[in-house]
Amino acid sequence: MNLRLDDSSITVAIVGCGGFIGSHLLDAVLERTRWRVFGVDLDFYRLQHRLNHERCEFLCADLADPAVVERIAKFPLVVNLAAICTPSRYMGEACEVIRSNYDHPAALAEACAKSGSWLVHFSTSEIYGKTTPDSGELLEDETPAVFGPVSASRWSYATAKLLAERFIAGLPGLRWTVVRPFNFVGPYMDFMPGVDGEGIPRVLANFSTALLRGEPLKLVNGGKAKRCFTSVHDAVDFLFALFDAGSDPERCDGVLSQAFNVGNAENEVSVAELAARMRSIFAKVRGVDVSTLPEPQVVSGEEYYGAGYDDSMRRLPSVEKAQRLLGFKAAIPLDTALEESLLWFVKHYSV
């Protein structure tokens, strides 16, 4: 497939285009290429600045609709980011979460197999399951996955994502690549509860909201779980490295039928350490002493998220495969990524 960045006849379909990663990918496609974009989402409130762009067509629609799936699969490159992916919903809305993360992507994959599109499907680092504090690097093609019991409906998301990966990998004729993100952070992530969304956002927006409201940061089960927070700009660079390799006849075999971890292993911190860093950055931004901010509070997972909560204790990506096959390595340090995200949040929601 020829995906030259200066080829104005190419249209990329971005499904979930109005979301956090989608909005960054859209900007990057418009800035770095001459491609057109067919963007699909349930809403586009983050994309007000792009709605009238001459190279964009936006369709406000549900991926559950087979007619929408057919339209998307007509394009040669399809990036599927659409999903319910906020942890607080995995407990109370397990069936919706499973439809969103298995049924819809499976239908899209079947349509892409028929049309011959290259499907770049966003899975998750959660497919590695219930890791322990001693779990080492997670390798795409070797690490076994262990999940919590069915009674812990936290695993509805991860198991649906894993089944979608298996379905995609098993589908005859499909040209596919799977992406497993490791805690991307950046501007436009999630929402501020009560302002532009309801419920509990992911940890970055959650902590940013508490800081802005002068409330204590809540450390679920003590904040001992470790994550590798990765700048969304690195994630976008990964995608361009992927597009580049996918359009090179000599390298495309190396990126098709492959799953890739996308994460910054050097940015590993516990959630408690993340809270400490975000408090320091916020104090610096506000020009106050960190001791004037409320101390973090420990809460139990059940108390915070409800019955059925469970967690994986460490998610450390092996980054060797992306480096070997794509020459990609995430480069943005944790504090840079956090500062950019927090500054955006403060500016956006102070207005």
Ligand X SMILES: NC(=O)c1ccc[n+]([C@@H]2O[C@H](COP(=O)([O-])OP(=O)(O)OC[C@H]3O[C@@H](n4cnc5c(N)ncnc54)[C@H](O)[C@@H]3O)[C@@H](O)[C@H]2O)c1
The binding site for ligand X (CB under 6 A) comprises 16, 18-22, 40-42, 62-64, 81-83, 85, 100, 104, 122, 124-125, 181, 183-184
**Backbone angles phi and psi of 227, in degrees to 5:** -140, 160
Q: Is 160 exposed, middle or buried (0-12, 13-18, 19+ CB in 10 A)?
A: buried
Of residues 125 and 293, the one with the C-beta less far from ligand X: 125
Q: Which residues are catalytic?
A: 157
Rounded distance between C-alpha atoms, residue 219 and residue 324, angstroms = 37
Q: Closest approach of Cβ 125 to ligand X, in Å?
A: 6
Q: Which residue is nearest to ligand X (CB)?
A: 19
- Nearest Cα residue to 202 out of 190, 186, 194, 213: 190
Q: Closest approach of Cβ 7 to ligand X, in Å?
A: 26
Of residues 184 and 309, the one with the C-beta less far from ligand X: 184
Q: Closest approach of Cβ 239 to ligand X, in Å?
A: 11
Q: Closest approach of Cβ 12 to ligand X, in Å?
A: 15
Rounded distance between C-alpha atoms, residue 10 and residue 33, angstroms = 10
- Strands 11-15, 77-80: parallel, antiparallel or unpaired by DSSP? parallel
Of residues 42 and 150, the one with the C-beta less far from ligand X: 42
Q: Which two tokens stand for residue 140?
A: 């795409």
> Residue length, the chain?
351
Q: Residues 301, 221: contact at Cβ < 8 Å? A: yes
Q: Closest approach of Cβ 217 to ligand X, in Å?
A: 19
Rounded distance between C-alpha atoms, residue 123 and residue 162, angstroms = 8
Of residues 62 and 198, the one with the C-beta less far from ligand X: 62
Q: Closest approach of Cβ 169 to ligand X, in Å?
A: 17
Residue 332 CB partners (closer than 8 Å, separation 6+): 230, 231, 233, 234, 264
Hey, is 298 helix, strand or coil? strand
Long-range contacts of 91-94 (CB under 8 A, 24+ apart): 91/153, 91/154, 91/305, 91/306, 91/307, 91/308, 91/309, 92/306, 94/153, 94/156, 94/308
Of residues 229 and 309, the one with the C-beta less far from ligand X: 229
Q: Closest approach of Cβ 290 to ligand X, in Å?
A: 26
Q: What share of the chain is helix, strand, coil (3-state, %, to 5)?
A: 45, 15, 40
Of residues 184 and 243, the one with the C-beta less far from ligand X: 184
- Nearest Cα residue to 146 out of 127, 164, 133: 127
User: 314's torsion region: left (phi>0), alpha (psi -120 to 50) or beta?
Assistant: beta
Of residues 236 and 241, the one with the C-beta less far from ligand X: 236
